[in-house]
Amino acid sequence: MIISDEMKKIFLAGIGAMVTTAEKTKEFIDVLIEKGELTVEQGKIFNEELKRNLTVNKQKASGSESLAELLKKLDTLSPEEISALKAKLAEMEKKSDEQRNNG
């Protein structure tokens, strides 16, 4: 009977080891899944930030306003502002002509 008790203990220890391994494996897999989900969420946040930065940089590169927006604003200018704008445009045109003639 001593042999059968020892065999029973070894058998039960083996089953216990299998159950413990299964539990630890499940915990490990759950942690990996959780980290994977966290990584996906961080990726989404990073992607949104990149899109926002791209939009901001694109606006800065294009002068932050489209031509259509600027033209709409021209309709609201006062006579003094229109005179100042004409003077600035004449100055810019003169510089452009000088660059073409010198270049």
Tokens of 68: 């259509």
| Residue pair 46/54 in contact by the 8 Å Cβ criterion | no
Q: What one-letter code names the amino acid at 26?
A: K
Give the DSSP per-residue string, 10-63: HHHHHHHHHHHHHHHHHHHHHHHHHHHHHHHHHHHHHHHHHHHHHHHHHHHHTT
Global confidence as pTM: 0.36
Output the pLDDT for position 42: 81
**Unique residue bearing structure tokens 């604003």:** 73
Report, as an integer, the average pLDDT of 73-90.
84
Q: Report residue 1's pLDDT band, with 50, 70 and 90 as the boundaries.
A: very low
Q: What is the pLDDT of residues 17-75, one digit of tens each?
A: 888 888 888 888 888 888 887 788 887 887 888 888 777 776 666 555 566 777 787 88
SS3 64: coil
- Give dist(CA 95, CA 103) in Å, integer: 12
